[in-house]
Amino acid sequence: MPVKAETSTHFIDELHIISPWAFFLAILPYIAAIAAIVFASLSGKPPMSLPAMVAVGILGGTVLACYILLIGYVNSDAGRRGMSRLAWTLLAILIPNALGIVLYFVLRKPRIATCPQCCAPLEPGFGFCPRCRYRLNPTCPKCQRSVHTGDKFCPYCGGDLGAGVNEVVDSAASPAKSSGS
Ligand SMILES: [Zn+2]
Ligand SMILES: [Zn+2]
């Protein structure tokens, strides 16, 4: 589906962090539904017609599968946000009506940024990677503090940034820089 790819890229990226075991577990409700339908049909006295049972099976299986995938997402996502994976996975499973999952999305911390070069964890405001010295933000040539791209003067020491400001090396920050000439 190349047409939808553009808008769903972010969602697909998020799906990739769910571990394979969650996808495997998400298949189980469907298998259980098929088994229940077969069992009910073979028993000779099905509680409802076959199309109704298939509809209930698909609906129930999908709801359970989504629930399992969400728990898998919480399990993986908590790790990259520096939160306890075990605690949040247990809360997501144990608190009924998916309230644990809702609670997780309300309380989750912002994602920890990582160095594009060595993947070391970074804190907001860092100008350089503490591990490999990769330059993360443009810095004032006078006082070496982080400044914003496009600033003309340093907000800390008043130094003229003019042509001296170090450009951001991070390619993600300016992927489509149009030449204005
Ligand atoms: Zn680094
Ligand atoms: Zn400065």
C-alpha distances (whole Å) from 60 to each of 7, 39, 135 are 28, 17, 51
- Measure 151 CA to ligand 2 centroid, in angstroms: 11
Q: Work out the pLDDT band at 74, boundaries 50, 70, 90.
A: very high
Q: What is the pLDDT of residues 91-137, one digit of tens each?
A: 999 998 889 999 999 998 887 778 888 888 888 778 788 999 888 87
Tell me which residue of 30, 21, 116 sits closest to 71, measured CA to CA. Answer: 21
- Measure 100 CA to ligand 1 centroid, in angstroms: 35
What are the helix (H) ranges across the chain? 5-16, 20-42, 50-80, 85-94, 99-107
- Measure 58 CA to ligand 2 centroid, in angstroms: 62
